Amino acid sequence: MPAGSKLSLGKLPPEVMKRYLFEMTGARSAKVVVQPSLGLDFGVVRLGGAKMKGRFLIVSSDPITGVVEKAGWYAVNVSANDVATSGNRPEFMQSIILMPEGASERDVRGLSSEMHQTATGLGMAIVGGHTELTPGLRRPIVVTTSFATADSYVTAAGAREGDALLMTKTAGVEGTAIIGTDARFNGKLDKKTVAAAGRYFERLSVVEEAVGAYRTGVVHAMHDCTEGGVLGALYEMATASGLGLKVAEKDIPISKETKTICSAVGVDPLKLISSGTLLVAVERGEEGRVLEAISSAGSSAAVIGRFAGRRVVMTRGGSEREVKTAPRDEIWRLHERSPPA
Q: Look at residue 199 in the predicted model and tell me its pLDDT.
A: 94
Q: Look at residue 8 in the predicted model and tell me its pLDDT.
A: 82
pTM of the full predicted structure? 0.92
CA distance 255 to 260: 9
pLDDT bin (cut points 50, 70, 90) of residue 279 is very high
Question: Both ends of the chain: CA-CA distance in Å?
Answer: 31
Strands across the sheet with 56-64, in order? 32-34, 43-46, 56-64, 141-150, 92-100, 125-134
pLDDT bin (cut points 50, 70, 90) of residue 305 is very high
Element (H, E) at 128: strand 125-134
250: three-class secondary structure by DSSP? helix
Whether 330 has a pLDDT exceeding 70, the answer reads: yes
Q: Look at residue 340 in the predicted model and tell me its pLDDT.
A: 54
pLDDT single digits (tens) 116-129 = 999 999 999 999 99
> Average of pLDDT values for 258-264?
96
CA distance 295 to 282: 15
What is the architecture, at CATH level 2, of domain 26-150? Answer: 2-Layer Sandwich (3.30)
CA distance 103 to 105: 7
User: Where is pLDDT greater, at 254 or 326?
Assistant: 254
Whether 69 has a pLDDT exceeding 90, the answer reads: no
> Average of pLDDT values for 87-102?
96
Average pLDDT, the chain: 92
Element (H, E) at 57: strand 56-64
Q: Look at residue 37 in the predicted model and tell me its pLDDT.
A: 86
CA distance 143 to 165: 30
Q: Look at residue 335 in the predicted model and tell me its pLDDT.
A: 81
Whether 253 has a pLDDT exceeding 90, the answer reads: yes
User: Per-domain residue ranges for the chain?
Assistant: 26-150, 164-336
Q: Look at residue 12 in the predicted model and tell me its pLDDT.
A: 85
3-state DSSP helix/strand/coil percent for the chain, to nearest 5? 35, 25, 45
> Average of pLDDT values for 40-62?
86
Percent of the chain with pLDDT over 70: 96
> Average of pLDDT values for 19-47?
90
CA distance 43 to 231: 23
Bridge partners (DSSP) of residue 121 are none
User: From 3.90.650.10, 1.25.40.420, 3.30.70.20, 3.40.50.300, which CATH number describes the 164-336 domain?
Assistant: 3.90.650.10
